[in-house]
Every structure is written in structure tokens, then in C-alpha cells.
A and B are shown apart, each in its own frame.
Chain A
Amino acid sequence: MLELVDLGHNYGSYRAIDRVNLKVAQGEVVCIVGPSGCGKSTLLRSIAGLIKPTGGTVLLDGKPVDGSPENLAVVFQDYSRSLYPWMSALANVGLPLRRRGLDKKKRDAAAMNALEQVGLAGAAAKFPWEMSGGMQQRVSIARALAYQPKLLLMDEPFGSVDAQTREELEDLTLRVCAHHGMTILLITHDVDESVYVGDRVVVLSKAPGTVVGDLPVQLPGPRDQIHTRELDAFVRLRAEVGRLVRGITPQRNTHGNTHGYGYGVETR
């Protein structure tokens, strides 16, 4: 349903992403992972129509995208700049539905339903600044749910919350969004997260970002924070993605190598 063809973008003479080719099928959850500054956000902003890429095309359902496409929602990393502090959670979730031509009653009902799905029915009347970061990000997810987009973009959605909340939100995303059959493109710099959440992990290289790996994630059963993460398949895949992110070929040993981002690659 989403296809990127030779997508590239320059900021002046700086090349952020270079000829990115990617196909995402309906209902897939694809994680894009890469080191800091590899143009992940540029990629997402191009798809969302927030910037006009300098090269290549974005096709949505076979049609080239110009401006912000219909039926697309974004969960931004920085919820404090994405939720409107002058509105309650319910109003924030319901606001995009005005475009759908629903009356106030139906909008509120749909917003309430979405808040229930993320476990925030009791906080509908609260304002964003009355909530924790994790709750605010759940409101953002509810807003995307209520909007019922065909494609959901998530830009490091769990980057600003603590570790426990992060796991909770990962599971919420899998349970709720994926359950709705939404196609999800999630951008992260966290190797673990990409493997845990994705049906597929796409690895971008350092800037200029280009696709250096595209790995299907085959993990049995419903995912679980503890069990899934200790599966051999999970560990192997995580190591493979980690190496790709750091730009290391598997032959070279990875011990003590620290250029790259954050996570130690375990070799078992």
C-alpha cells in the first residue's frame, strides 16, 4: 500500500537520505531502525507530507503523494508539542474527526471509545498537563486510533518515556493498532524495540541514509516482553540488526566496538 521509490532528500548540500526503496504491504508493522542522524525522521516527514523530498516519489495505494495524504496519522515523539494543552484529552482525540463530517456527539463517542482502548476512559476530561508522559503518549495513540487511518506513522513514539512505560506502550501498540489491521511504520533508534514490535525490520545506514537491511521477523505466538525477548530467534535477530545498524559485517567481531548507538550486541 505504501511504496517509496528512490526517495532522497537534501538539506542544502547535506544529503539526509539517499535513494530509499521500500514497499510496505497492507496490515504490516514495519520498523525502521538506524543510527542517530541517519535521516529516519526525514524519511517519515517525507511520507507525512511535512517536507517535500528533493528526489524520488512516495506512492500510497499506487498514487503519488503530494502534501499530507488523507487517511494518515502520525504519533510524534514529542507529545507535549503534539497534544494541544488548551483542550481536554477527549477534545484532543476528537478534533481530527471534525474533518470526517461527524457531529459533536458522534465525535465524542468515537473519541471516548478510542480512549477506552488505550485504558484512559477515566481521564477523558483531563488536560495534557495533568497527565504523565506515558498517559499523554497514550492519548496521542488514541487520537490516531479514533482517526482510523490506513497508515499510521510513529516517529520514535516511545523515546521520551521511561523503560516500563515504554514496554507498556509497545504492547499497547501491538495489541490495539495492529488489531485494527492498521499498517504501521514505526521509526526508532532502539534495536530491541524494532525487533520486538515489527513484522519486518528495515535498517538504514548512517547519513545519507539508505536501506542496508530488510529482515522479516518470525517469532512464534503473541509477543510478550519477557518470553519473546529471551527466545533464541529474538536474540539472533537483535544481534543481526545491531550489526547492520553499526555498519559492521558479521565476520568482524563486535566486542568492544562502541561507535554506533547504545545497545551492546551480545554474542551467545
Chain B
Amino acid sequence: MRRATFGVLRLWIVPVTLIVWELVTRATVSPFFPPPTRIVEQFHAMWLSGPASQLLLTDRALETFGPSLGRLLLAWVIAGVLGVALGVALGRIRGVADYADPVLQFLRALPPPLLVPIFFALFEIGTATQLAVIVFGVIWPVLVNTTDGVRAVDKGFLETARVFQFSRYDILRRVILPAAMPKIFAGLRLSLSLALILMVVSELVGSNSGIGYSLLYAQQSYDYAGVWAHIVLLGVLGLLFNALFLVAEGRVLSWHAHARRTV
């Protein structure tokens, strides 16, 4: 109870900032810095004035968000699956890491946006390129964390599995992966926030749909309230993804949180 009240009280900074921001932007009247009320208005007009059957989302919102979020989630899932699979191979198969590590470190150091031209050449403009950019950018945290996690599985867990003669599949599926899951989830969470960034970046460069494209369009039509509305939207999406992810993590890893608390 006291904690909750304290939490709410700490949020005083938010309304204060908004009010100051509003007052300053009204006083200075710069076209680049519209007042927050103006941004909210624009946000509402563009995306939130739709019918109740669409949860108030406008057609424009659905057309803009749909492709973006679809690509983001698809790319994240692909990166997750590939990252875990490669990570397990790197972490558990002796010798593989020695060969693959230098190559992976090199690839990891490349900033994904720089690879956009190459992906264009490979896949042409469109969804495949955007997916490739996102996957390439967000696979690393999953891969590195999985490798780490499967290497660090407690020896006791593995010896038990050996004594009771678990099959290789059971050792992987029921011992190694669950043991590494906390680390894998940490990687997936980082990847999700990176995926949001790369989604926008990939749409700014070569796309004719999505949030990034819409942002670029607003900027080119001197609709600065619209540009700010996009920024707010991305912040909200980031928050939302993180919150959903934490709920999912709490369910899958409840044993981990509890086990750590009691040890």
C-alpha cells in the first residue's frame, strides 16, 4: 500500500514536464516544436478516431501499424528461433565455437543499417529486405545469451541426466534449454526493443508502408505535430511490448524467480 502510493507520487514529474513543455512551446511558437496538446490532437486524428469495432483505431492506423508490427514480430520470431538454435550448437558442440567465433564477432560488429544496400541487392526492396535487416540486427543478443546459458548449465543437472540415461533429446529439451531459459529470455527482451528500432530504420530507407514510412511522409509534408505523434507512438509501442514480454516471462520463468528468492 505504502509502496503503491509512493510509486504514484513519484510520477509527479510526468504532469509537471508536460505542463512546462506546453507553456514553453506555446510561448515560443516554433513550427518544429508544437505543444503537446497539438501532438495529442494529431495522434488522435490520425489513428484514434476510428469506430469502436476497431478499438477506435482508424483505417489509416491499421494500414500503417499492421505491416510494421507484422514484420517486427515475424523478424523477432525468426531471430529468436535461429538465435537459440545456433546458440545451442555453439554452446554445446565442442569445437564449433572455436571456428565460428571470429566470424560471428565480425558479423556482430557490423551496424545492420549499413547492410541495407546489400540486402536490397539480395532481396530487392520490400518485406524480405526489411525482415533481413531486422533479423540480422536482433539475432545477436539471443545468440550470445543462449550460448552463454547452455554453457553454464549446472554440472549437477547434467550428471543426474547422465546417470538416469536421458536421451539426447530429453537432455536438450528438458534439462539444458530450461536451465538456459532465464538467459535466453534476457536476450529475447533486448532483441525485442532492438527490433522496434530496426523496424523503423528499415522502413525509413526502403519502404512504401509502415510506421517508418509514415513518419518520413509526415516530415516531408512539414507536419511536425505528426512527426512528434510518431515518436510518441514508438515510445508507447516500446512500453507495451516490454510489458507484454514481462508478463510472458513471469509465466514461463516463475520457477526461476521463486527458486532464486528461496536460495
Contact = CB atoms under 8 A, between A and B. Distances in A.
Interface residues of B, number: 25
B160 to A, nearest CB: 5
Interface residues of A, number: 27
Interface in B135-181: 154-157, 159-160, 162-167, 170, 174-175, 178-179, 181
Contacts of B93: none
Interface in A125-181: 127-130, 143, 147
Interface stretch (A29-37, A68-76, A114-122): A68-76
Given A84-B175, A86-B255, A99 B164 contact: yes
A65 interface: no
Contact of B174 (A74, A84, A143): A84
A78 B263 CA distance: 13
B163 A72 contact: yes
A85 B259 contact: yes
A50 interface: yes
A239 interface: no
B262 interface: yes
B163 A48 contact: yes
Given A50-B162, A72-B163, A98-B167, A86 B258 contact: no
DSSP class of B's interface residues: helix, strand, loop or mixed? helix
Contacts of A260: none
A70 B166 CA distance: 11
A73 B255 contact: no
Given A68-B163, A68-B165, A127 B170 contact: no
B164 A85 contact: no
Contacts of A128: 259
Interface string B238-263: 00000000000000000110110111
A95 interface: yes
Contacts of A99: 164-167, 170
A129 B255 contact: yes
A82 B156 contact: yes
Given A99-B164, A129-B263, A130-B258, A76 B170 contact: no
A50 B163 contact: yes
B255 A76 contact: no
A84 B164 contact: no
A80 to B, nearest CB: 7
B180 to A, nearest CB: 11
Contact of A80 (B166, B256, B263): B263
Interface centre among B166, B178, B259 (most CB of A within 10 A): B259
A128 B259 CA distance: 8
B163 A73 contact: yes
Going nearest first, the 6 A-B pairs with the smallest beta carbon separation are A81-B156, A96-B164, A129-B259, A85-B259, A86-B178, A86-B255
Interface of B: 154-157, 159-160, 162-167, 170, 174-175, 178-179, 181, 255-256, 258-259, 261-263
Interface of A: 48-50, 68, 70, 72-74, 76, 78, 80-82, 84-87, 95-96, 98-99, 127-130, 143, 147
30 contacts: A48-B163, A49-B162, A49-B163, A50-B159, A50-B162, A73-B163, A74-B160, A76-B160, A81-B155, A81-B160, A82-B160, A84-B160, A84-B174, A84-B175, A84-B179, A85-B255, A86-B255, A86-B256, A95-B170, A96-B166, A98-B166, A99-B164, A99-B167, A127-B255, A127-B258, A128-B259, A129-B259, A129-B261, A130-B262, A147-B164
